[in-house]
Amino acid sequence: MDRIKTPKVVAPVEALEHPKEWSYFTNLELVKSRGSSVCLTCEHFTYTCDKSCVTLLTCPLHQRLIPQGEHLTKRCLNWQKKRVLQIGWCPEVA
């Protein structure tokens, strides 16, 4: 009788140092944006996962966490256009 092998669960690799310890942006630090200049399209926007595989949206420039959903409608004053767009690859926006 064959036994079904279950794959081992591996903790996600954290690209940033201790992002879980960072604090969240406040409403005063992020401003509303109606155009494409939002956190998701910023050069500094990135994300990682915690040990429970919960996605954490991060800004390494400020070393802050971005509240869920705010990355789609807000930005900070240091927003920069993604240089990756010049070569045509931007998986976060897809």
- Return the pLDDT at 45: 92
Beta carbons of 78 and 39 less than 8 angstroms apart: no
Sign, Cα dihedral of 14, 94, 45, 87: positive
pTM higher than 0.85, yes or no? no
- For each successive 10 residues of the chain (94 residues), what is the average pLDDT? 47 54 88 91 89 89 92 92 68 58
- Return the pLDDT at 12: 38
Beta carbons of 93 and 41 less than 8 angstroms apart: yes
- Return the pLDDT at 34: 86
On the CB side of 89, CA atoms within 13 Å amount to 1
